[in-house]
Amino acid sequence: MKKVNRNSSSIITTLMISNLLLAGCGSSGTETDNIATTDDTTKPTSEIATQVYKNGKIYTVNEQQEWADAVAVKDNKIIFVGSNDEVQGYVNSSTKVTDLSGKMMMPGFHDVHIHPIESASENIQFAISVEETNPENFIATIKKASLENPGKGWLIGFGHSIFTLLDSARSPLAIIDEAVADRPVIIMEQSSHSMWVNSAALALAGFTKDTPHPTGGRILRDENTGELNGILIDNAGNMVMDIAMAPANESLQKDYDGLIEFTLPELAKHGITSISDARSFWKRDDHKTWLKAQKNDAITARVSVGLWAYPTADDTAQLADLTALYSNKQDSFLKFNQIKLYSDGITVNGTSAMLAKYNIDLIGIPENKGLNYFSQERIEQYITALEPIGFDFHMHAIGDRGIREALNAVENSGSDKGRHRITHVEIVDPVDIPRFAQLNVTADAQVAGDYTNPEHWHENDELIGAVRSDNAVPIKSLDAAGARVTLSSDWNVSPYNPFIGLQNAVTRAPQELTIAKAIKAYTLNGAYVMRQENKVGSIEVGKLADFVILDKNLFNIEPNTINQTKVVTTVFNGEVIYQR
């Protein structure tokens, strides 16, 4: 994931939050006199609100009552949704009343595919430009990074396009060795699906020209000499990054600091109150970072962690380890109740699993149809073993074969209790579109990245042809076929700002959604895949108070301006966690 520059001005300290709670909701509306309209002595205490919001345009995402003027909250629970007149019955002298002055309120956003720890950690020490087309120009940057991060330990970077390396006149390994030879260097490519490493890194990993390609990965070699060229595709790169990111006190502290000081405040600033950590590397102790945050009462979102299924692990041992990590306490903000696994890679690498071969071979496989991290049979094995425990599966699948095999695995495992989802859904064979609804498999799409917009669809024509490139991420077709669609970011691949995702979702004809369906995809549908649709995801009596107040009404503005919307206030579990 890309290294993020922290903006300290966006970080909300505990003291600031406390002051906001004491002061009321400030700029979200006008604080009114807390004068009861009923006799306090006769009104049952159970029906008196601690907080009332009125005079708003409240979009509930509840089909039985889509719009309301007012909401009453008692502690962390919604006790009334309705008119301005009726809400007065829930007010007494102790109730805090906020006049929304016509502003829009809606449920808090769910981002059910995000990388909240690795995207903000300063364990990635430097970045190189994805725009640079001559890899020789990276030498100075890598040398400088080594000087600025002295020692003999790993030097870890991010950036570049794999095509910059594949098109290099000189071996990429020779270039990176010229930059730094006396310590291991690994640089993650901008998609995160390949790594550029030097000879010292290859030696530590035990990779030689005779090393077999690992499951789900490729160790690239010079096509003339057979020598390694420093490019590791998909899981081959992940294996080396696991060595580079081996947990240590310093690295774990950087992970924690990034999560607490950047990620969680930024999520609150953008109205995101629930997330799925889409790839928790538990062998790197990512789960311990979450547990530390929970212990310190620092979590300001509902979190379902997707535990990473390692492709090269022994299945018996890994299934036992994952079972031991399961946690699903209903009153906890933190749950370890999802499994993240990859069916395939990505199209631009030639590693997404395709039903027909690629037109061009990028990774040295004759008649290449892509890679499998996990085969269909192995996915079935994992679902059969882990679904009864309570795990739901979050399956990365981009190619039409990868998507079909993931659907087959759900069908063949006899699944009837799982809430599984396939994420990315970029190239879907039309035959498989109805199967999402038939199998109750959620289609999770990321459209916040411009690369998913229709004007970019045919950039893959050279690899897979115009027909397969067309209609990428077919969210309208999936929705029309009855599939449950969720929208998410995959941050840091795409922006976490949900208003960018909403705008792209409603403007990407011919595969667009209505604004109402896009909002539902970011709220109630996300709540379903996190198994919390009875608690949050809509504004209804009995649900918990997770909602946001916006500076614009999303239904009354031009679709191409949705990305300019700002969150005024974010309320999580009844408390203000962000105030503009």
CATH number for the domain that contains residue 188: 3.10.310.70
pLDDT at residue 6, rounded to an integer: 34
pLDDT of residue 9: 35
My answer on whether 233 and 335 are in the same domain is no
**Where are the strands (E) in 269-415, listed by range?**
272-280, 302-308, 334-342, 392-397
User: Does 106 reside within a domain?
Assistant: yes
Report the alpha-carbon distance of residue 574 to residue 547 in Å, rounded: 9
Position 362 scores a pLDDT of 86
> 380 and 358, same structural domain?
yes
- Shared domain check, 132 and 88: no
Of 146, 106, 112, nearest in space to 126 by CA: 146
CATH of the domain at 430: 3.20.20.140
Beta-strand relationship, 334-342 and 392-397: parallel
Do 102 and 176 sit in the same domain of this protein? no
What tokens were used for 196?
A: 């550029």
Q: Are the beta carbons of 92 and 525 closer than 8 angstroms?
A: no
Which domain, by its residues, includes 61? Answer: 10-110+571-579
In this structure, the answer to whether residues 47 and 138 fall within a common structural domain is no
CATH number at residue 78: 2.30.40.10
Q: Is 192 in the same domain as 103?
A: no
Q: Which of 244, 259, 279 is the last residue of a domain?
A: 244
Distance CA 302, CA 114 (A): 13
Q: Token digits for 556?
A: 């009354």
Structural domains counted in the chain: 3
Is the separation of the CB atoms in 566 and 120 below 8 Å?
A: no
Tell me: do 377 and 508 sit in the same domain: yes
- Measured CA to CA, the distance from residue 98 to residue 31 in angstroms comes to 5
Q: Sheet with 228-234: list strands edge to edge.
A: 126-128, 155-159, 185-188, 194-197, 228-234, 217-221
pLDDT of residue 44: 53
Assigned domain for 275 exists: no
pLDDT the model gives residue 46: 65
Q: Are 407 and 498 contained in the same domain?
A: yes
Q: Does any domain span residue 350? A: yes
Output the six-digit token pair for 576: 């203000």
Are 386 and 522 in a shared domain?
Answer: yes
> d(Cα 223, Cα 358) in Å, to the nearest integer?
19
553 in any annotated domain: no
The burial of 333, by beta-carbon neighbours within 10 Å (0-12 exposed, 13-18 middle, 19 or more buried), is given as middle
425 and 372, same domain (yes or no): yes
Q: Would 254 be classed as within a structural domain? A: no
Angle at 247 between CA 243 and CA 253, to 5 degrees: 135
- Same-domain check for residues 404 and 513: yes
Looking at residue 422, its pLDDT comes to: 98
Q: Is residue 509 part of a domain?
A: yes
DSSP 32: P
- Which residue type does 68 have? A
Closest CA to 541 of 44, 62, 108: 62
List of the chain residues with pLDDT < 50 = 1-43
Residue 477 CB burial class (10 angstroms; 0-12, 13-18, ≥19): middle
Q: Is residue 366 part of a domain?
A: yes
Q: Does 480 lie in the same domain as 331?
A: yes
**490 inside domain:** yes
Tokens standing for residue 228: 């390694």
**CA distance linking residue 570 with residue 123, whole number of Å:** 30
